[in-house]
Amino acid sequence: MPSNKSVSDAPIIQFTNCRILRSHRLQREDLWVREGKILNPEKLFFDEKGSADIQLDCKDSIIAPGFIDVQINGGFGVDFSLATDDFKSGIDLVSQKILSHGVTSFCPTLVTSPPSVYHQVLPQISIRNGGAHGAGILGAHLEGPFISKEKKGAHPEHCLRTFEAGAFQDLLATYGSLDCVRIVTLAPEMKRSSEVIQELTKRGICVSLGHSVANLSQAEEAVQHGATFITHLFNAMLPFHHRDPGIVGLLTSDKIPAGRRVFYGMISDGIHTNPAALRIAHRAHPRGLVLVTDAIAGMGLAPGRHTLGQQVVEIDGLNTYIAGTKTLSGSVATMDTCVRHFQEATGCSVETALEAASLHAAQLLGIEHKKGTLNYDSDADFLMLNDGLYVQATYIAGEEVWRQDELGM
């Protein structure tokens, strides 16, 4: 049947012989793409009388939405918390390299830093679409400095701050600008944090609870004021206790406002969280789990000494520590590794593992109408994977931006 170009002259691509993750299950059907969007084939056939210009045989691959990493501190020698003259080329390098790990969008993350670093770095982060140049940037994730001294983890203590009388103004003065900020991690037990959470939420910024000694009622109050995320669950917070489960208790709290879902990040690298803890969290609240890498500059590099903001860190195998200590400091895991480990550790379905790295992050950020899904009219950001969940090819806006070569290199 000839193409009818009355709607658009852009070519229509039909991906055949594949299993598409749609509506929470793998479905054996074709994927149709035009002008960077996913097409409804029924409309194409019946309204436009159109057909494909190009057909691609996917050789029985899984097609899943592109991964979204909302907590990544850097990688491949680049540290997002260091103000350097070539910061932009550094962020470009990371966004290009993570394509091979299936990440099509991300939130560059800054750990606790002096105000001068935020003032220099944040103006250099711009929200942008992905493409052949690299994964899209959804906005910055600022993890600190308004966090607990007791649970600072790898964050430098001398840079930590509290909220003073003009709490939100303190935050603005520290960061300099919120123009490109998408997520702020703070400790909800801090005085005046409620007004800060409300102000950030009003501006469409996601508030995450983390690096905190908050009890459950403080965490619930923060959610009632607008917080929707928990930064790397179990790490840098009070351990679960049966009489006061702390922030972890939000997973099964009955004080969450109606219609609101609390999401939580998990570093599924086999180091940060025991597989049993991963299983407990997943079984308690499966629809809130968001896989994050928390990757640092040393991701993709050989073991040795690297940086995480103001700190020197040491990589030993898959472990990353503040140099000279046993304090964990981010990870060197890639997102595709986290997906495979999560599936193996929990025994969850392939669909569940893939949605934890895509759909849930998009829902957290309120962009699920265009990212994290393969629904009609959404952005054609997707991956081809084999049954072992190894990425074979990455597509952004319907264009191939990375492919595993035939030698498996």
Return per-residue pLDDT of the chain as tens, 409 residues: 444 445 678 999 999 999 999 999 999 999 999 999 999 999 887 887 778 999 999 999 999 999 999 999 999 999 999 999 899 999 999 999 999 999 999 999 999 999 999 999 999 999 999 999 999 999 999 999 999 999 999 999 999 999 998 999 999 999 999 999 999 999 999 999 999 999 999 999 999 999 999 999 999 999 999 999 999 999 999 999 999 999 999 999 999 999 999 999 999 999 999 999 999 999 999 999 999 999 999 999 999 999 999 999 999 988 999 999 999 999 999 999 999 999 999 999 999 999 999 999 999 999 999 999 999 999 999 999 999 999 999 999 999 999 998 544 4
Catalytic amino acids?
A: 294
Query: Are 207 and 171 contacting, i.e. CB atoms less than 8 angstroms apart?
Result: no
Q: Is 328 annotated as a binding residue?
A: yes
Q: Is 211 annotated as a binding residue?
A: yes
pTM: 0.96
Q: Is 243 annotated as a binding residue?
A: yes
Q: Is 360 annotated as a binding residue?
A: no
DSSP secondary structure of 100-149: GGTEEEEEEEEES--HHHHHHHGGG---B--BTTB-EE--EEEE-SSS-S
Q: Is 161 annotated as a binding residue?
A: no
Whole-angstrom Cα distance, residue 119 to residue 103? 27
Q: Is 232 annotated as a binding residue?
A: yes
In the numeric block, which tokens belong to residue 84? 């350097």
In the numeric block, which tokens belong to residue 152? 């600072």
Query: What domains, with CATH codes, occur in the chain?
Result: 12-64+373-403 (2.30.40.10), 66-365 (3.20.20.140)
